[in-house]
Amino acid sequence: MAPTTLIGEVTATTPQGRDPREQGYPIHICELLDTLAAPVFIERASLSDIEHVRKARRAVRKALEVQRDKLGYAFVELLSPCPTILRMDARGVTKFINEQMEKEFPLKRFRDNSASAQPIVREPSDFSLAALDEVFGCEDHACIEFQKDHEFTLKGVKIAGFGGQGVLSMGLALAQAAFGCGRAVSWYPDYGPEQRGGTSNCSVIVSGLPIGSPVVDHPDVLVAFNRPSLEKFASSVKKGGVILYDSLIGLFQAPEGVKAISVPATEIATEKGAHQEANTAKLGYQIQAGNLGLPKEAYSNAFRVTFAKKPKLIPKNLEILEAGAQAVRVLEMAARK
């Protein structure tokens, strides 16, 4: 069945005929477009026979002239026969178009405002490097050249939680840190339609070589913001990998061969007077325990870039970042004793 299949018409997917109660009614594109103010020219024509083809030719020519003269949007819909699919001979399909299709889709010039329409003149687009740098706010020192490094081991990070917890922004900060070091990096978000409260996760890959796919199915590091995310992705972490999660989640038994670290990220952020920045604390213990091969200053520089338009937030976030890293150091020292 196609969007324009007639009511009662038998097709491979509607063997009993199209039923509007199940498959809906045929879609009338010209009528839909005619409800909009923008189109300049709208016409429905037919290719059923020579006489109709001549009229269709004139409609197409008119539409092309509208486009040529930059007068606006032009649309021509054609009723076109297909004897093979309809299993009819040429005479039969012509009769089908003229007597049945035209009843449902009447041939008509719905609109022609070409005489009154004014040409639309737009300035040519500038895709030069200088223009793009200006659009994206790039500066000379921000242009970092990627250098292949066969010695740098590819690392995959999965960050997961609820929407509104800073999951995606943490991934962006991590990606920015890797980019600042000249590494190949990808950031791949995955979230539901909800603006707040829905599931949300992102994959970040850091590599010394070009990245083939941005998807992380088996992360080296999992950062879980809540228990559902922890339970969903923990089993996918590689052997020898690390799971970082907030202590508010409670007790958690990590899979065999995987290290799990519980850190009071929310508590750290609250103590610093910014409870909403718990994701920054999590990035802090990512620095210490994630083992991504990035220098500490890369993360600090990433925050300066990320919050360039909100400079007042930089000192507080850097403070929380260091506190998160320090919390992991304390845990690691305690574990060695």
pLDDT exceeds cutoff 90 at 226: no
The C-alpha torsion from 245 through 249 and 255 to 257, rounded to 10°, is 40
* Banded pLDDT at 193 (limits 50, 70, 90): low
pLDDT exceeds cutoff 90 at 7: yes
Alpha-carbon distance of 137 to 187, in angstroms, equals 20
Is the pLDDT higher at 326 or at 127? 127
In a domain, 319, yes or no: yes
| Same domain assignment for residues 105 and 157 | no
pLDDT exceeds cutoff 80 at 115: yes
| Same domain assignment for residues 79 and 156 | no
pLDDT for 57? 98
Q: Please, what's the largest Cα pairwise distance for the chain?
A: 94
Residue 168 CA: distances (Å) to CA of 22, 142, 145:
40, 22, 25
| Same domain assignment for residues 231 and 324 | yes
CB 86 within 8 A of CB 97: no
| CATH code of the domain in which 264 resides | 3.40.920.10
Mean pLDDT of 203-227: 92
Alpha-carbon distance of 172 to 25, in angstroms, equals 46
pTM of the predicted model over 0.85: no
Q: Where among 61, 84, 112 does a domain terminate?
A: 112
Q: Which of 217-226, 254-263, 313-322 has the lowest mean pLDDT?
A: 313-322
pLDDT exceeds cutoff 70 at 13: yes
In a domain, 205, yes or no: yes
In a domain, 238, yes or no: yes
What is the 8-class DSSP label of residue 274?
-
Is the pLDDT higher at 242 or at 315? 242
Within its chain, how far is the Cα of 201 from the centroid? 13
* Banded pLDDT at 262 (limits 50, 70, 90): confident
In a domain, 50, yes or no: yes
- For the beta carbon of residue 276, count every other beta carbon within 10 angstroms: 12
pLDDT tens digits, one per residue of 51-81: 999 999 999 999 999 999 999 999 999 998 8
Q: What percentage of the chain carries pLDDT values higher than 90?
A: 40
In a domain, 235, yes or no: yes
| Same domain assignment for residues 296 and 201 | yes
Alpha-carbon distance of 252 to 245, in angstroms, equals 9
pLDDT exceeds cutoff 90 at 260: no
SS3 336: helix
Alpha-carbon distance of 153 to 52, in angstroms, equals 66
Name the average pLDDT for the chain.
85
In a domain, 9, yes or no: no
pLDDT exceeds cutoff 90 at 83: no
Mean pLDDT of 245-273: 82
pLDDT exceeds cutoff 70 at 285: no
pLDDT for 166? 79
Mean pLDDT of 322-333: 71
Alpha-carbon distance of 106 to 46, in angstroms, equals 10
Is the pLDDT higher at 168 or at 325? 168
Structural domain boundaries, residue 46: 24-112
CB 136 within 8 A of CB 127: no
* Banded pLDDT at 215 (limits 50, 70, 90): very high
What's the number of domains the chain is made of?
Answer: 2
Count Cβ atoms within 10 A of the Cβ of residue 181 and give its class: 0-12 exposed, 13-18 middle, 19 or more buried: buried
pLDDT tens digits, one per residue of 133-188: 888 766 655 567 777 888 888 999 999 988 777 788 888 888 988 888 889 999 99
Alpha-carbon distance of 55 to 63, in angstroms, equals 13
Residue with tokens 């009819």: 88
Mean pLDDT of 90-95: 88
pLDDT for 198? 65
Q: Between helices 313-336 and 296-306, what is the axis angle to 10°?
A: 150
| Same domain assignment for residues 106 and 155 | no
Mean pLDDT of 287-301: 75
Alpha-carbon distance of 103 to 26, in angstroms, equals 12
Alpha-carbon distance of 231 to 249, in angstroms, equals 11
